[in-house]
Amino acid sequence: KWNDILEQMKIENDISEVAFTTWVKYFRPYKVEGNMITISIEKENLVLDPSWFSKKYRMPLIITIAEVLETEFDVQFIIPDLSEKNRISEDAEKTDSESLINAHLNPRYTFETFVVGKNNDIAHATALAVAEDPGIYGNPLFIYGGAGLGKTHLLHSIAHYVLGKHPDYRIIYVTSEEFTNELVHSIQHKQIENFKNKYRNIDMLLIDDIQFIVNKESTQEEFFHTFTTLYESKKQIVISSDKPPKDINGLEDRLITRFKAGLTVDVQPPNYETRMAILKKRAELDNIMVDDESLNYIATNIKSSIRELEGALKQIYNFSRLRKKTINFDLTKEALENIISPEEKRPVTCELIIDTVAEHYNISPDDIKSTKRNKEIAYPRQICMYLCRKMTADSLQAVGNSLGKKDHTTIIHGEKKISDDLKHDENLKNTIDILIKKINPPT
């Protein structure tokens, strides 16, 4: 019966055979709750995200379902994590590496959702060309630009695109921080061979935020060998950084030379038109109803980072839900009242430290300020204590207040725990190092 619905939808909507065999035939009813049917798209390595399917197939499906079942249902799409499911299947070994990859890729970061403007058109075109024919154009492809301008988005897009065309490719996406931590771990546990095998036997390596390996000699050494091995077997390497190769202080000359020999492109802050286009796309993808005047207000006032643009939109959205009001210009102005102009460098405060640490660990600032005691939250909280003490002049009591009314002995304990761990924990050292740079970027 389900297949009949799909067939009928195809005929009524003139869906091409190609679209049908590529996408539609993978639609499976996953669950029905009230009048909502959730459809899972059971295809591996999808290049597109659910919102794309929703835009194209939601209405046709609603109509056909209503015709066939004589009941009105709404539909939504999800993309199941097939790698999870396959992990238990026989071909565990292959899917294991696949799930590893998938786990690292944000399904939202695809070429489809990337808005092209004058600020990034060359980076976009080059990334797409490299994704079409890995290893043919410059190697490495080196993408640089300021924070929040789409570098990570482009790296993920390349990986999604290549996996869409070659599901069997072994692709690794890592940040240079993860690369460093893994290396340190493998040295400590005498598993350096595993590390080498992992990184040298792949078809493509995408390494994000390479600037964080500056002054780390053994990481640079190992990275150089990984790089050379891949390079010599014509495997594509894609690198991102906040600066062009020649400006990265503390990076070995031989790496700079290698990087410069490839293809270097940059992403710049978007102009007004592109900022508007990005906001419109984001609002559409997230189903946020927002008037043009509000969008204009955001696009006029937030200029330097796309992440901040998106953050402003989200803030308005949350504010409107809280107030139970629809978004309009007045609400927008109120919601963004306290947004600090991203042009200025934010002063280092406990708030900034908490926000940065929370983002780094993918938890919320409220978690940090809470009294939750699970390690995933308690440890970042202690890192905040340590950093607040180290980077601000706030008293123990002030730090305690910023962290959700903790008393001063808790702060002393947290600060000490981290200083003690720092004496032997290389990974922590690396992380603290990176956090400090994120909180107070060197200029």
Chain residues that interact with Mg ion, rule: CB under 5 A: 151-152
User: Is 148 within any annotated ligand binding site?
Assistant: yes
By CB under 6 A, residue 141 contacts ligand ADP: no
Q: Least distance from C-beta 64 to ligand ADP, angstroms? A: 32
User: Exposed e or buried b for every residue in 104-141, given b needs 16+ CB within 10 A?
Assistant: bbebbbbbbbbbbbebbeebbebbbebbeebeeebbbb
Residues in the chain: 443
User: Is 151 within any annotated ligand binding site?
Assistant: yes
Closer to ligand ADP by Cβ: residue 243 or 372: 243
Give the contact letters, 224-263, x = binds to ligand ADP (CB under 6 A), - = no.
----------------------------------------
Residue 244 and residue 212 in contact, taking contact as beta carbons nearer than 8 Å: no
Piece of 73-81, 148-156, 185-193, 288-296 that binds ligand ADP (CB under 6 A): 148-156
Q: Which two tokens stand for residue 214?
A: 């500056």
- The C-alpha angle with vertex 271 and arms to 267 and 273, in degrees rounded to 5, equals 125
User: Is 152 within any annotated ligand binding site?
Assistant: yes
Quick one: what does residue 380 bind among ligand ADP, Mg ion, none, with the CB cut-off 5 to 8 Å set by partner type?
Answer: none
CA distances from 169 to 93, 140, 164, 235, 268 (A): 14, 18, 10, 11, 31
Residue 170 CB partners (closer than 8 Å, separation 6+): 97, 101, 201, 202, 203, 204
In sequence order, which ranges of 237-291 are alpha helices (DSSP H)?
Answer: 253-260, 272-285
Q: Least distance from C-beta 28 to ligand ADP, angstroms? A: 28
By CB under 6 A, residue 147 contacts ligand ADP: yes
Q: Could you tell me which residues are beta bridge partners of residue 239?
A: 142, 207
Q: Least distance from C-beta 206 to ligand ADP, angstroms? A: 12
Closer to ligand ADP by Cβ: residue 180 or 241: 241
| Residue of closest CB approach to ligand ADP | 150
By CB under 6 A, residue 149 contacts ligand ADP: yes
Q: Which two tokens stand for residue 428?
A: 């922590």
By CB under 6 A, residue 148 contacts ligand ADP: yes
Task: Say how far apart CA 249 and CA 57 lie, in whole Å.
Answer: 50
By CB under 6 A, residue 153 contacts ligand ADP: yes
Residue 287 and residue 249 in contact, taking contact as beta carbons nearer than 8 Å: no
What's the distance, Cα to Cα, between the start and end of the chain in Å?
Answer: 63
By CB under 6 A, residue 306 contacts ligand ADP: yes
Residue among 43, 151, 160, 389 that touches ligand ADP (CB under 6 A) = 151
Residue among 45, 83, 110, 120 that touches ligand ADP (CB under 6 A) = 120
Binding site for ligand ADP (CB under 6 A): 109, 113-115, 120, 145, 147-153, 278, 306-307, 310
Question: Which amino acids are annotated as binding site, given as ranges?
Answer: 148, 150-152
Question: Which amino acids are annotated as binding site for ATP, given as ranges?
Answer: 148, 150-152
